[in-house]
Chain A
């Protein structure tokens, strides 16, 4: 494998990182909204969001990408493959993050909310200043864990035809006929991206387990 092929893989890596970041950021915004609706205490909102979460947790990510990809084309939106998969990952991430954050919001002791209410803080201030800062701390290990899942998941964009790292690997491997070498390197690149995050996640988890003792 020459320098050109390797640089092509690195370009793929760049798109993998970008796609993960966009999916995580978009998923973060919508995920927060979903988590808040899920604990809103309004039956209709809770039903809808829990159905949304169950739908995304009960189907393969690959199908979600296919349906979003072809579904958007169907309603007449002519979008770039890049935009379509970014929307797909945003929806996927919002369901998972919404569920993770719902759990952490519910893990914040009830007394905190009650105290905030007694101090006559309104909903926004109660959430922003009291509940969410504590919930974020609790959710951190699981959130980092999901980020690793998401980075690995972006490889499926290759099947839809978006040239990120895995598809770049496919292309190079078809050119130079050394699939083992190419996918070995692709695997190493993913590993270098994900492993530090995984280590950080388990570090957070350990620290929290000690704090909880």
Chain B
């Protein structure tokens, strides 16, 4: 019980930790971008006319959603060199995050596309709207609005998940913290501090997404 909290290593390491935050940010941003690409591609392929393609997409979604990210990142980390791709831990982590987030994005985006009624599109055409206008005003915007809350909360989750990338020592906040911790043995102080960092990061993200939602999607439903 005579332990005295000592935050000197944390304060000394503050510049490194802030750089680590940037690393986390980069990882999350690239992961999200890849997840959207995989998500949109997956939704298109999931309605493919070729049955095996549909099955593959479904199997991909189920496998990714029912196994831990830690196992996925280890698997990808060891699998990539075998197929001749030699990458640093950080790009490897981005690929793993994108694949993981992509599987969730497929399900979310599919729900949004399905929420647009055929009658809406026909009504738009009947009113003399151009095809591009129908797509932009009647399909895209309402679909985006429908998926926005679940997609963005998935993004916040993905950002928190980046901490697991420290397991393959990708460059981000947690791995920076682990280095400071192993030099100073101030485990509680270091991890307690960066837990607050993560809290701020996810809070800022949520506020940001809320603001976007209020700006673009706050028109009445009916």
Q: Which residues of A contact B (CB under 8 A)?
A: 55, 57-64, 66-67, 70-71, 73-76, 148, 152-156, 158-159, 166, 169-170, 179-180, 183-184, 186-187, 190-191, 194-195, 198
Contacts and interface: CB of A to CB of B under 8 A. Distances in A.
B71 A190 contact: yes
Nearest to A157: B70
Contacts of B63: 187, 191
Given A70-B191, A71-B192, A195-B66, A179 B74 contact: yes
Contacts of B82: 180
Interface in B55-99: 62-63, 65-72, 74-75, 78-79, 82
A1 B98 CA distance: 31
Contact of A59 (B1, B68, B166, B199): B199
A151 B71 CA distance: 12
4 closest A-B pairs by CB: A155-B68, A194-B66, A60-B163, A179-B78
A198 B199 contact: no
Contacts of A159: 70, 164, 166-167
Given A62-B174, A63-B198, A70 B164 contact: no
A187 B71 CA distance: 6
26 contacts: A55-B199, A58-B198, A59-B160, A60-B160, A60-B161, A63-B163, A64-B195, A70-B187, A70-B188, A71-B188, A73-B188, A76-B1, A152-B68, A154-B68, A155-B68, A155-B69, A155-B71, A159-B70, A180-B79, A183-B71, A187-B63, A187-B67, A190-B67, A191-B63, A191-B67, A194-B66
A190 B174 CA distance: 25
A183 B78 contact: yes
A198 B65 contact: yes
Contacts of A158: 70
A195 B194 CA distance: 34
Interface of B: 1, 3, 62-63, 65-72, 74-75, 78-79, 82, 156, 160-164, 166-167, 174, 187-188, 191-192, 194-195, 198-199, 202-203, 206
A55 B203 CA distance: 10
Contact of B195 (A57, A67, A76, A180): A67
Given A58-B198, A67-B195, A169-B71, A198 B161 contact: no
A122 to B, nearest CB: 38
Contacts of A63: 163, 174, 191, 194-195, 198
Contact of B66 (A55, A154, A190): A190
Main secondary structure of the interface of B (DSSP, over half): helix
Nearest to A158: B70
B62 to A, nearest CB: 7
Nearest to B70: A155
Main secondary structure of the interface of A (DSSP, over half): helix
A59 B159 CA distance: 10
B106 to A, nearest CB: 15
Contact of A62 (B79, B163, B206): B163
A191 B66 contact: yes
Given A75-B1, A198-B66, A166 B164 contact: no
B203 A58 contact: yes
Contacts of A67: 188, 191-192, 195
B167 A152 contact: no
A60 B62 contact: no
A71 B69 CA distance: 25
B78 A180 contact: yes
Nearest to A178: B78
Given A62-B163, A76-B1, A183-B75, A152 B67 contact: yes
Contacts of B74: 166, 169-170, 179, 183
Contacts of B164: 60, 62, 156, 159
